Structure 1
Amino acid sequence: MAAFNIGMFEDKFGYIVTSVAVLIALALWSARKPSLARYPLLGSEYGGAEKRGQAFLAHATELFQRGYEEFKTSIYRLTTPDGDHLIVPNCHLDELRRRPDDELDVQEAFEKTFENKHVHLFPAKDKSTIVNNVVKSDLTRNLTRINPRFSVVVAQTVAEEMPPCSDGTWTPVVLSSVLLRIIAIVSGNIFLGPELCHEEEYMYCAIMFTMDLVAASAALKKWPSFLRSVAASYLVPQVARVRDHRRRMKEFIKPVVEKRLKIIRSGDEEKRPDDLFQWMMEKAAAAGITDAGDLTDMLLLLLLAAIHTTSLAVTNIFYDLVIRPDVVEELKAEIKSVLADSGGIMTTQALNDMKLVDSVMRESQRLNPPFIDAFRRYTLKPITLQNGDYIPEGSYIETANTAILNDPELYPNPDTFDPHRFSNLRNNPDLPDPLGFKSRELYQFVSVTKENMSFGFGRHACPGRFFAANEIKMIMAQILLQYDIKMPDRETERYQSVGSGVVKAPDPTKEIMFRRVR
């Protein structure tokens, strides 16, 4: 029998204490979670909670579709890497969207989605609110004034960033990468002004911040929630890169902030920049927010919402179009006709008149939404719905956006890409309306309804969707009028999307062949 050695006990004591602490933390964490057992659990065949959460990352689309078919008018549970969420049917959404923010919180839900605790994407709510308000009011209100100038910027940027594709030869282009630069520049022109938007430091941080943030969030989801702090610190390198992008953007923007604060304080209108960052700084300064770090966080949130989502949308549209040359020719004809009527200027009216372009955009969005789910909310108070369903405080809720967009009762022949689906409904009042909207204009790309929540739903719907729609139309027009497109040899099918969990995106590695129009 070995002699007792105090050193042996000391060696194990730290392990014992750590194990007990972890068990206590897990018990407290479990006790804080609301009881959702009253609702049926989908996906129990995958096993325990951790296995179900990992299955969600791999099979979210199939799980949401099954849930939509089995529980079309009732609430059910689905286990994500963050725990059980309640999936609500869209028959409850009109009631839920009217609930006040002190009952249903949208920012808390998105903070959990993006692992904000570790990547620090979202500024405090007062600062996020300023960002949303500036986009919703200042940017949208100025679109009619901005559009003609903006279209010139788009034309110049497409010409500069696209490969030459001349001499009648077909050139392979990784469109996703080119679009990221185009959209970073043209969005940056409106957000930061014509000089700063071409700075490579801005370009690098604006593009890479979101790419590494999404990668960091996805990597952290693979870890149990109680280990994510450790993983973020030591095991997920993208987290450190996100912090470095934020640091570099702050260094880039700090002298801009200092210069513009002097202009704000002087009241010199002649020197006042005419861009979104200036409008945001003025509203922030009025609220006492002048720190370069805070303004950097606000700018990065804006860039995240503007650059990558628009790039994904345009990439998906071209993946849909490149296998449909007949649709491409129809679009070219419409764009030429509209521009002939507007004197070649991309006015707001001209953009509104591109109804087939708009229809193609919405149909591509219907089949390729950026997220499988929608209407993410966190309950700050217990909620009892009109039918008696009870949602506890501290619950995460969402709805099955992709399944709704593929419902044949809402969208006949939902698996078919129909470029005229929405333009026909808008142009022909005698055509039966499957959704029974009060106005056929609700079939526009920018419209927010519970039958298409790709831009969100309710008062927290994407405030920048009007700007994004104009930007997409301008980019489509420039590329389609200047280039012929086709698939590479031996490629005949549409490129498949990639993703994990609720995120769905076009494959960023795929090529399209381009040739300058002769």
Structure 2
Amino acid sequence: MATKTVFFSPEEPFQLGVPHLFGAALLFLALLWHWAQDERPFPGFPVINKEKGEWLNTKAKNRMINSANKLMKEAYEKYNGKPYQIIGETGPTIVLPPHMAHEIRNIHDLSFTHATERVFLPKFKGLEPFSAGLADHDVFQSAIRINLTQSLGSITQSLSDETTYALSVILPDVTEEWSSITWVPFATKLIARLSAKVFLGEPLCRNEDWLTISMMYAVDSFNASRILRWYPPFLRPFVHFFRPEFKKLRQHIKDSRRIIEPEVAKRKQERRAAITAGEKPHKATDAIEWMDEQRKDIDYDITSGQIILSVAAIHTTTGMMSALLWELCANPEYIDDLRKEIVEVIKEDGGWKKTSLYKMKLLDSCMKEAQRLHVIGSLAMGRKVMAPLSLSDGTRLPAGAHVAIPTWPMKDSFYYENPGKFDGRRFLEKRSEPGNEHRWQFVTTTPEHLGFGHGQHACPGRFFASNEIKIAMAHTLMKYDWKFEGEVPLKSLRDSEWIPDPTAKIMVRKREPEIPF
């Protein structure tokens, strides 16, 4: 039977049914809503990564992800002390010139909390532990800034002992012969164990389930929040319930409660029993105790506090340690001098003392230099403008805008001679200048070195991170030799932030330390 070919013609027009029209209307409204929800740049500030004719911010965001260093360098040179605007993954940000860092550092109407909420989206189930670090009651910040910092001297020896144990667990098969390991996972496991020692105390610090959660929650939460940010805000409350990334986060939190809450309840019971018996309750030297002390009558979730404490501590410190050892392998002439410094200090102090880490000034300088070359992100000091604000240079910031300071000065030849080269003695020499002894320490923040931010919201855990890295590096340098497996530079997985490649290989072998460790 012959088939008849039907063509649509003006005489017989194709008719769209009601369902088709309704669907098309819904699609149009969804696209219109998506466009409306896509944050608009603020007028009066040039945008460096969005081109004419682009309605949405998608392409601009991708340019920031893939070419951040190039964009930031060009903008830094082009605008030369004037503000501009960049569209990142979280939306538009007004980038203020570096010299404004000191002025904005403590302004009340520039909110660190609201800026951070835009990044991590803590109102969604699975990401709520971030609220424990951002709440107005300051339990989290006080536990770190006051309790942890005041305890640094008393935990030095125990951290050294835990490093010895951790290395025996993490590198059990390393011998006097060269072997290859993936460096970033090794550093992550080591820092996770040292952090758990201080945050959870014994016996939980060696709980393998917790150690896994403490390492994975940061990775999984960053990934989940990044994925959710790509959805229009009106879809996020629905989408997050079904995304597998959020299911994984909720399981992490459930497992964390199973591990931590019995210990919190046990301590509370022991404290009550001691008081009833007329005895002084035992006080542990760990973050469970510190958070409990700081929360007073506040209903504070200690499990969430522990999770976010691990997020804040482990991966930033791992990135720093990874960058440092990689730079030392690329510049091995520093390793012998560092070993000599470590030996001299430990001999002089008769072991690990409160002052020992401060005396390791070459190590401190190498750490700060590695951080300078591998800064955690292109922008620092992110804040949300809560009320219209005028700055001293006449810049008017509208309410609702987000602002930040570029970290590019850390690679500027105006501040640092030969800025692209690792100079392990750079900050040691700067500290020898009159009046600069403290200005160029690893933990000191300045507008030209924003590795830890600056001002009131500079990283409160940087003093602990400094001690932790020094102890970990002292052990790894004294007990092992290190070298590249080939000449492969340590790469970042993203151009807009420092995420060291977790597949990078490095060679290691045992050595006999000059002194007992």
TM-score (norm 1): 0.89
* 1:153-188 Cα shifts (integer Å, max 9, x gaps): 22222233223321x311111121122222111111
Asked if the contact 1:367–1:405 (Cα under 8 Å) also holds between the matched residues in 2, the reply is yes
Match of 1:199 among 185, 202, 207: 207
Q: CA deviation at 1:503?
A: 2.1
* 1:111-130 Cα shifts (integer Å, max 9, x gaps): 21234344334216437721
Within 5 Å, give how 1:357-436 maps onto structure 2.
Answer: 357-401=363-407, 403-429=408-434
1:254–1:121 Cα change, 3 Å: closer
Give the whole-Å Cα distance in 2 for the aligned partners of 1:158 and 1:369.
27
Aligned to 2:156: 147
Give the whole-Å Cα distance in 2 for the aligned partners of 1:22 and 1:485.
54
Q: CA deviation at 1:271?
A: 3.8
Amino acid at match of 1:275: D
Aligned to 1:333: 340
1:270–1:422 Cα change, 3 Å: same
Match of 1:245 among 246, 252, 274: 252
1:144–1:47 Cα change, 3 Å: farther
Match of 1:354 among 352, 360, 372: 360
Asked if the contact 2:120–2:130 (Cα under 8 Å) also holds between the matched residues in 1, the reply is no
Give the whole-Å Cα distance in 2 for the aligned partners of 1:206 and 1:333.
34
Asked if the contact 2:378–2:497 (Cα under 8 Å) also holds between the matched residues in 1, the reply is yes
Match of 2:305 among 271, 294, 298: 298
Aligned to 1:135: 144
Report SS of the residue matched to 1:515.
strand
Q: CA deviation at 1:288?
A: 2.8
1:44–1:272 Cα change, 3 Å: closer
Give the whole-Å Cα distance in 2 for the aligned partners of 1:225 and 1:72.
35
Within 5 Å, give how 1:104-503 maps onto structure 2.
Answer: 104-118=110-124, 119-123=127-131, 125-126=134-135, 129-166=138-175, 168-223=176-231, 227-229=235-237, 231-234=239-242, 236-266=243-273, 267=275, 269-284=280-295, 286-289=296-299, 294-343=301-350, 345-401=351-407, 403-429=408-434, 438-488=435-485, 491-499=486-494, 502-503=496-497
Amino acid at match of 2:65: L
Give the whole-Å Cα distance in 2 for the aligned partners of 1:203 and 1:296.
14
Aligned to 2:502: 508
* 1:455-489 Cα shifts (integer Å, max 9, x gaps): 1111111111111101100000001001111111x
Give the whole-Å Cα distance in 1 for the aligned partners of 2:491 and 2:131.
34
1:379–1:34 Cα change, 3 Å: farther
Amino acid at match of 1:76: Y
Asked if the contact 2:264–2:288 (Cα under 8 Å) also holds between the matched residues in 1, the reply is no
Unaligned stretches of 5+ in structure 2?
Answer: 1-11, 513-517
Give the whole-Å Cα distance in 2 for the aligned partners of 1:121 and 1:499.
25
Asked if the contact 2:427–2:441 (Cα under 8 Å) also holds between the matched residues in 1, the reply is yes
Asked if the contact 2:87–2:93 (Cα under 8 Å) also holds between the matched residues in 1, the reply is yes
Amino acid at match of 2:492: S
Asked if the contact 2:317–2:469 (Cα under 8 Å) also holds between the matched residues in 1, the reply is yes
Give the whole-Å Cα distance in 2 for the aligned partners of 1:15 and 1:506.
45
Give the whole-Å Cα distance in 1 for the aligned partners of 2:362 and 2:53.
47
Asked if the contact 1:65–1:400 (Cα under 8 Å) also holds between the matched residues in 2, the reply is no
Give the whole-Å Cα distance in 1 for the aligned partners of 2:53 and 2:31.
23
Give the whole-Å Cα distance in 2 for the aligned partners of 1:358 and 1:163.
29
Report SS of the residue matched to 2:482.
strand
Report SS of the residue matched to 2:503.
coil
1:54–1:201 Cα change, 3 Å: same
Moved more, 209-218 or 183-192: 209-218
Give the whole-Å Cα distance in 2 for the aligned partners of 1:380 and 1:20.
31
Report SS of the residue matched to 1:484.
strand
Give the whole-Å Cα distance in 1 for the aligned partners of 2:156 and 2:292.
22
1:3–1:39 Cα change, 3 Å: closer
Report SS of the residue matched to 1:126.
coil
Amino acid at match of 2:145: K
Unaligned stretches of 5+ in structure 1?
Answer: 430-437
Structure with higher helix content: 1
Amino acid at match of 1:375: M
Give the whole-Å Cα distance in 2 for the aligned partners of 1:485 and 1:451.
32
Amino acid at match of 1:425: K
Amino acid at match of 1:495: L
Asked if the contact 1:375–1:399 (Cα under 8 Å) also holds between the matched residues in 2, the reply is yes
Give the whole-Å Cα distance in 2 for the aligned partners of 1:104 and 1:361.
30
Report SS of the residue matched to 1:475.
helix
Report SS of the residue matched to 1:377.
strand
* 1:247-303 Cα shifts (integer Å, max 9, x gaps): 21122212122222324445464443331111102222x13315xxx2221111111
Aligned to 2:6: none
Give the whole-Å Cα distance in 2 for the aligned partners of 1:466 and 1:391.
33
TM-score (norm 2): 0.89
Matched, 1:98 2:106: yes
**How large is the Cα RMSD of the aligned pairs?**
2.4
Asked if the contact 1:34–1:393 (Cα under 8 Å) also holds between the matched residues in 2, the reply is no
Give the whole-Å Cα distance in 2 for the aligned partners of 1:221 and 1:492.
37
Give the whole-Å Cα distance in 1 for the aligned partners of 2:240 and 2:151.
41
Asked if the contact 2:214–2:310 (Cα under 8 Å) also holds between the matched residues in 1, the reply is yes
Q: Percent identity?
A: 29
Give the whole-Å Cα distance in 2 for the aligned partners of 1:272 and 1:178.
32
User: Alignment length, in residue pairs?
Assistant: 492
Give the whole-Å Cα distance in 1 for the aligned partners of 2:388 and 2:271.
44
Q: CA deviation at 1:47?
A: 5.6
Give the whole-Å Cα distance in 2 for the aligned partners of 1:499 and 1:128.
34
Asked if the contact 1:82–1:225 (Cα under 8 Å) also holds between the matched residues in 2, the reply is no
